[in-house]
Amino acid sequence: MTLEAGMCSNGHVSYPTHPLCPECGEPQEETFDLSDRTGEVVTWTHSTATPPGVREPNTLAIVEFDITDVDGASDEFVRALGQVTTDEVETGDTVEPVYVEELRDPDAGIKVPESQDWDGYRWDPV
């Protein structure tokens, strides 16, 4: 599992990646990894009505990654939504992505566990 953002030839960056840029419609030809960066919590919430197999409560945050060092990027940041490793998070906190093998219980729900990936990243306060 990767935490990749996509960039088109016009320098627009989005997460997750898309075949075509959501801003201008050009193909996203480059990707770069966000998993080795830190980001800042823009906003967060505690979800208490979670889908089957998802922890309850489930703390989620929108995190902003500074991408001013990415060659060719016209955007200054890219945002990503994800689970947080703890319930103790505040707006402005610095977080880092941490890989987890299961974001939810693959045996809960209606999908066959082998039908999809269950791994991904959570935000961990630094």
Give residue-wise pLDDT tens across range 13-40: 999 999 999 999 999 999 999 999 999 9
34-70-37 Cα angle (round to 5): 25
Angle at 14 between CA 17 and CA 86, to 5 degrees: 90
Would you state the pLDDT for residue 117?
79
Q: Give the list of residues 6+ apart from residue 126 with CB closer than 8 angstroms, or none.
A: 38, 93, 94, 95, 96
Q: Which of 30, 40, 27, 36 is nearest to 80 (CA)?
A: 40
Using one digit for the tens of pLDDT, what is the confidence trace for 61-117? 999 999 999 999 999 999 999 999 999 999 999 999 999 998 888 788 777 777 777
Per-residue confidence at 51, pLDDT binned at 50, 70, 90? confident
pLDDT of residue 96: 98
